[in-house]
Structure 1
């Protein structure tokens, strides 16, 4: 066992001096900056929660814009995904941190592909992750979902597009593609490519804090996402291991499509 652990670490981990440099050089340093970047994890989710889940604010937004409910919600999600998650980090890195344009993809983990991490190792981690999380999803996630759904402030409104798969996937294909791409690309750029380096001051706690705050950020889907606080730890852990945003983006895609389907089948299809 003692000889196996170092071999496993060598298999999973990839060294990248540039990644380590950016994390050390650009992490938040002052107490105010550290508090700000920790709050930055949650602010976009709180905005969406206020705009969609708080009924009076939602009704006011509909009156102000004249949009239909699903379109209004879609517009908010697209704005957060492409504006806050993708554009804002780039602008902050360029104009607040003074990073040259050419170095921003490097900072975010997009300069050097990780071929092993994006192929066989990704599939290996996916299979192991799926097998390990199935018991959690059956015996922990479901009771937590039912408990959280009983709290009025946490409950997803009946009009929310996240209330059912039919509502979420009822958009035209192009709209849906933009939303889904923005989901797994935008979230990974923001939470792993950007914030995981900014909160590197947390040291060994950076990975669990990143994973927990990522789950908590989804205030607009609390019963669905807060019970996933343990499985979501895999995203920052994978970024910590491989130091490549390509790997976590592809893994997020696999989770959204493959893992979700396996869990659905195991719990509600052939698993019962």
Structure 2
């Protein structure tokens, strides 16, 4: 019989592996293959293109007056952006099995910018927004490809017909604001910088931000004349969004435009 001192001591259990904090080293989020990245791009781009070039002409026939085309395009593009939001929610739910805020903010990078060195979030990093907003505003001075006047909402708003249409027109004001919110917060930015960008590192490495910017620009098949300008704007945003692991960077920068346009539109409605 062996003595108590010679009894075998069971080995210590191996240490439990800790999940790397989001943004440290390799991404803790699943990574998309190039094929899946392009598939997600198509889910966003094709409905918008079909709505603008097929749905809008058909819908415009049911309206009368100089506002027929702007109303038709506004309805079709709003529907396309709402679809993007629905798709993002479906993708996150399929991936994580939940749409709780704690899940969404990690899955879609809806967090303050994070320093790649100290891993600290927020604070002085929010000052990044100032030069980014100024840089995007400066791109407005770059000559642009002329757009069809009947398809350009800004041109319509500057016309007498557009100002008369929106004067006191609260229902269409509400729809336009809805479209703007889905454009900069819940639709385009959420899909490209929230869903796609965090999942592109596996396919594109450190150039994920560049691939994301190109995809976002080419996504504008519904307004192809805006692709060159969109490429410049999105490259200004995609790199810091990737470096600081925050989709809120793009959302905040693009929302400045929404606030300005929304304010000008409100002035027209109150006339």
Q: Shorter-normalised TM-score: what interval?
A: 0.5 to 0.7
For residue 252 of structure 1, the aligned residue among 236, 239, 254 is: 254
Equivalent residue number for residue 89 of structure 2: 90
Task: Return the alpha-carbon distance in structure 2 between the equivalents of residues 117 and 210 of structure 1.
Answer: 26
Instruction: Kindly indicate whether the alpha-carbon contact (under 8 Å) linking 1:188 and 1:245 is maintained by their aligned counterparts in 2.
Output: yes
Aligned ranges 1:142-153 → 2 under 5 Å: 142=143, 145-146=144-145, 149=146
Equivalent residue number for residue 263 of structure 1: none
Aligned ranges 1:138-177 → 2 under 5 Å: 141-142=142-143, 145-146=144-145, 149=146, 156-162=147-153, 164-166=155-157, 170=166, 172=170, 173-177=173-177
Q: Which has the higher contact order (CA 8 A, sep 6+)?
A: 1
CA, structure 1 residues 215+257, in 2 after alignment: closer, same or farther (shift >3 Å)? farther
Give the CA deviation at 1:228: 3.7
Instruction: Kindly indicate whether the alpha-carbon contact (under 8 Å) linking 1:108 and 1:245 is maintained by their aligned counterparts in 2.
Output: yes
Task: Return the alpha-carbon distance in structure 2 between the equivalents of residues 117 and 164 of structure 1.
Answer: 38
SS at 2:40's partner residue?
helix
CA, structure 1 residues 242+94, in 2 after alignment: closer, same or farther (shift >3 Å)? same
Aligned ranges 1:17-96 → 2 under 5 Å: 17-19=21-23, 23-29=27-33, 34-54=34-54, 58-62=56-60, 66=62, 68-84=68-84, 86-95=85-94
Equivalent residue number for residue 238 of structure 2: 236
Equivalent residue number for residue 216 of structure 2: 214
Instruction: Kindly indicate whether the alpha-carbon contact (under 8 Å) linking 2:109 and 2:198 is maintained by their aligned counterparts in 1.
Output: no
Question: Could you say which structure has the higher helix fraction?
Answer: 1
SS at 2:180's partner residue?
helix
CA, structure 1 residues 21+246, in 2 after alignment: closer, same or farther (shift >3 Å)? same
CA, structure 1 residues 120+59, in 2 after alignment: closer, same or farther (shift >3 Å)? closer
Task: Return the alpha-carbon distance in structure 1 between the equivalents of residues 154 and 133 of structure 2.
Answer: 27
Larger-Rg structure: 2
TM-score (norm 2): 0.66
Give the CA deviation at 1:98: 3.7
Instruction: Kindly indicate whether the alpha-carbon contact (under 8 Å) linking 1:210 and 1:236 is maintained by their aligned counterparts in 2.
Output: yes
Q: Aligned-pair RMSD on alpha carbons?
A: 3.3
Instruction: Kindly indicate whether the alpha-carbon contact (under 8 Å) linking 1:53 and 1:160 is maintained by their aligned counterparts in 2.
Output: no
SS at 1:177's partner residue?
helix
CA displacement, residues 222-262 of structure 1 (integer Å, 9 cap, x when unaligned): 2123244233202211211222222321111235667xxxx
Instruction: Kindly indicate whether the alpha-carbon contact (under 8 Å) linking 1:19 and 1:107 is maintained by their aligned counterparts in 2.
Output: no
Give the CA deviation at 1:162: 4.0
Aligned length: 218
